Amino acid sequence: MKVTYGGEVIKGDENFGDEMSYSKLYRVHTWDILFSNIGVGRGAIGIVPPYCDNCFVSNEYTILLANSKEEALFYINLLRTKEILCDILSFATGMNRGRIRWEDMCHIEVPVYFEQKYDMKNEVDALESLWSSYSNFERILIQKVGTLVLQLKLEDEDSRLRWLAYKPPE
């Protein structure tokens, strides 16, 4: 999985375990807050959508668990503000000062979520509607493209071998 600088959590490459260079992976679930330890300062913080449930991330990500959907949405929006991102970056290390560790980030002070004070139900409903629309779009697109690929024979063994011959090394 990946988190974009815009805060969108998306599926990454699908790999088998023996193809991974990481010795340990972590499973994420819908409504987990996920942030990139490297890209957090640029806004790479997002909420795991249902279509990424049970996917895995490396130790380059930190997973935060909220007590409710509303709380997750509250904190994700707080963590992406310039004020909090500045606090996060003040702990950052690395060549471009972009890497953060939970051991440092957990000391950053943020307002506490109170359900009675911050009503996030409409926002949660809107996000769930967005996720549902995206899943529907993806399903329809896969069906249409799949049919086209089969008709034009774009994914046969010859195509795969040709692709492997020209594919740049990883």
pLDDT digits (tens, 9 = 90+) for 37-48: 888 888 899 999
Structure letter (DSSP) for residue 155? S
Residue 18: pLDDT above 90?
no
CA distance 135 to 112: 32
Residue 50: pLDDT above 80?
yes
Helix intervals (H) in the chain: 69-79, 82-89, 102-105, 121-152, 157-166
Average pLDDT, the chain: 87
Using DSSP's 3-state secondary structure scheme, residue 57 falls into strand
Using DSSP's 3-state secondary structure scheme, residue 61 falls into strand
Set out the domains of the chain in order of their start, with CATH numbers: 2-119 (3.90.220.20)
pLDDT digit string, tens, across residues 92-130? 766 566 678 888 888 888 888 887 787 889 999 999 999
- The answer to whether 35 and 104 have CB atoms below 8 angstroms apart is no
Using DSSP's 3-state secondary structure scheme, residue 56 falls into strand
User: By mean pLDDT, which of 27-41, 55-69, 109-123, 124-138 is the weakest?
Assistant: 109-123
Q: Give the pLDDT score at 108.
A: 87
Q: Is 0.75 surpassed by the pTM of this model?
A: yes
CA distance 88 to 108: 7
Tokens encoding 42? 């640029």
Q: Give the pLDDT score at 119.
A: 84
